[in-house]
């Protein structure tokens, strides 16, 4: 790993290469610690500059741009030129928090807002994560309870504070506490949620959370005016977006002619699938958009759902299917049974089990479109995170088999 260090308009070259146990490139807390030690001043990572790995986004060789928060007196500045100038210079579609000025602005905003709610910041922010989708910082406060700053790009993400307010109005314990929000700036300040992320959720956690989330979705489905501001990812909206995407696929993916023909056939048969899905009787409602157990947080007594950047108006089966990729067969069957039973209670006469089956290709289509949305809004150096994802999800659509046979 290497780090290019700047302080304002001054460039201090690359810090000595570090050998680190890099996991995901976006997890930068160890990078920050090593760069701070090497430079003698506190630093924050502005962004990924370059990365090379057999598993894109994870491990391998990585280069970051870090900004010193004080001028490093022990280092000499030098001209920014050549390769470094090209890589560190401005770029179209760069995230607001991926620049030194944007970093400082976001942290200043958070400090001001913490003071305004009577929770003054007690120590410097700890940077946890940064990439094209979000920045995440942990902020100690003088109350002894930390706060969290999250930054996202409003152009292609939900206004999380508004989504949390909608769900929290139905079930307050289901969501984190919002301390402050700046929707236009893509900034959200949250109270700390105690516990652990539920990557391997217990049966009890699933039994507690899934029916509560379905109950909240049911209530919100009956308030269409409250959901009017959400991005439209309903089944018919997804079908229209697929039509637009098909025109781009030959040039932007490595899909074969046979695969492209298969997707054209899928698009032609999709209206019939959507009619059968509608016949299952589940309402359009607020969908979390990334309802995997890593976005559930539990302290053993209660479970909170976090990370609403992908939230939208859509079909609830998309949330129902999301945990499957993260659960073993037995745990998945447990989740699917609880989800199905919950919807049967809240939508009498519905067939949620059939909806899960029918929605499988639509689930993969929704993620293909979402990943393409990422690629359309991020700068070139960040593309390795998602480069092959749309094609991968579209291949998963084809792997579901002919749409006409899904009944």
pLDDT tens digits for 11-29? Answer: 999 997 887 766 789 999 9
CA distance 357 to 41: 55
The per-residue pLDDT for 51 is: 86
Below-70 pLDDT ranges, the chain? 21-22
* pLDDT at residue number 401: 93
- Determine the pLDDT at residue 54: 82
Residues of the chain with CATH 3.90.1200.10: 197-405
HSE-up of residue 246 (Cα within 13 Å, Cβ side): 17
The CATH number of domain 197-405, selected from 3.90.1200.10, 2.60.40.1180, 3.40.50.300, 3.40.50.970: 3.90.1200.10
Distances from the Cα of 83 to the Cα of 86, 89, 265, angstroms? 5, 10, 46
pLDDT of amino acid 186 = 96
Q: To which CATH superfamily is domain 98-191 assigned?
A: Phosphorylase Kinase; domain 1 (3.30.200.20)
CATH 3.30.200.20 domain extents, the chain: 98-191
Query: Treating both helix axes as pointing N-terminal to C-terminal, what angle do 257-278 and 352-377 enclose, rounded to 10 degrees?
Result: 130
Token pair, residue 273, equals 């699938």
CB 388 within 8 A of CB 55: no
Beta-bridge mates of residue 148:
138, 190
* Predicted pLDDT of residue 22: 60
Residue-level pLDDT at 127: 97
Q: What beta strand segments (E) does 170-261 contain?
A: 178-182, 187-191, 196-197
pLDDT at 207: 96
Instruction: Return d(Cα 62, Cα 117) in angstroms, integer.
Output: 39
pLDDT at 372: 95
Question: What integer pLDDT is reported at residue 389 of this predicted model?
Answer: 94
Tell me the whole-structure pTM to 2 decimals: 0.95
């Amino acid at each position: 790993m290497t780090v290019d260090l700047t302080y304002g308009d001054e460039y201090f070259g690359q810090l000595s290469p570090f050998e680190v146990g890099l996991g995901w490139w976006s997890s930068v807390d160890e990078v920050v610690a090593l760069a701070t030690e090497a430079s003698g001043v506190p630093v924050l990572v502005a962004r990924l500059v370059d990365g090379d790995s057999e598993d894109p986004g994870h491990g391998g060789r990585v280069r970051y741009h870090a900004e010193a928060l004080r001028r490093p007196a022990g280092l000499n500045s030098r001209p920014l030129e050549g390769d470094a100038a090209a890589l560190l210079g401005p770029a179209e579609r760069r995230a607001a928090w991926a620049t030194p000025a944007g970093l400082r602005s976001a942290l200043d905003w958070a400090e001001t807002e913490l003071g305004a709610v009577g929770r003054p910041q007690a120590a410097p922010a700890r940077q946890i994560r940064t990439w094209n989708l979000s920045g995440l910082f942990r902020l100690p406060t003088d109350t002894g309870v930390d706060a969290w700053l999250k930054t996202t790009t409003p152009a292609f993400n939900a206004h999380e504070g508004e989504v949390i307010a909608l769900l929290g109005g139905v079930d307050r314990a289901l969501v984190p506490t919002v301390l402050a929000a700046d929707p236009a700036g893509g900034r959200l300040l949250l109270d700390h949620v105690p516990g652990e992320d539920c990557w391997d959720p217990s049966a009890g956690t699933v039994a507690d959370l899934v029916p509560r989330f379905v109950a909240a979705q049911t209530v919100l489905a009956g308030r269409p005016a409250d959901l009017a501001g959400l991005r439209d990812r309903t089944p018919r909206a997804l079908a229209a977006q697929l039509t637009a995407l098909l025109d781009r696929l030959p040039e932007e993916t490595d899909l074969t002619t046979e695969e492209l023909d298969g997707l054209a056939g899928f698009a032609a048969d999709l209206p019939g699938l959507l009619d059968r899905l509608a016949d299952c009787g589940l309402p359009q409602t607020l969908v979390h958009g990334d309802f995997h157990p890593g976005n559930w947080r539990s302290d053993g007594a209660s479970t909170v759902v976090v990370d609403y950047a992908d939230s939208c108006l859509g079909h609830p089966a998309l949330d129902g299917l999301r945990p499957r990729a993260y659960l073993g067969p037995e745990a998945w069957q447990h989740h699917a049974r609880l989800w199905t039973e919950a919807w049967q209670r809240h939508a009498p006469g519905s067939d949620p089990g059939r909806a899960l089956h029918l929605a499988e290709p639509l689930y993969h289509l929704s993620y293909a479109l979402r990943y393409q949305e990422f690629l359309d809004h991020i700068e070139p150096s960040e593309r390795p995170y998602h480069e092959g994802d749309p094609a991968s999800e579209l291949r998963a659509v084809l792997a579901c088999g002919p749409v006409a046979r899904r009944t």
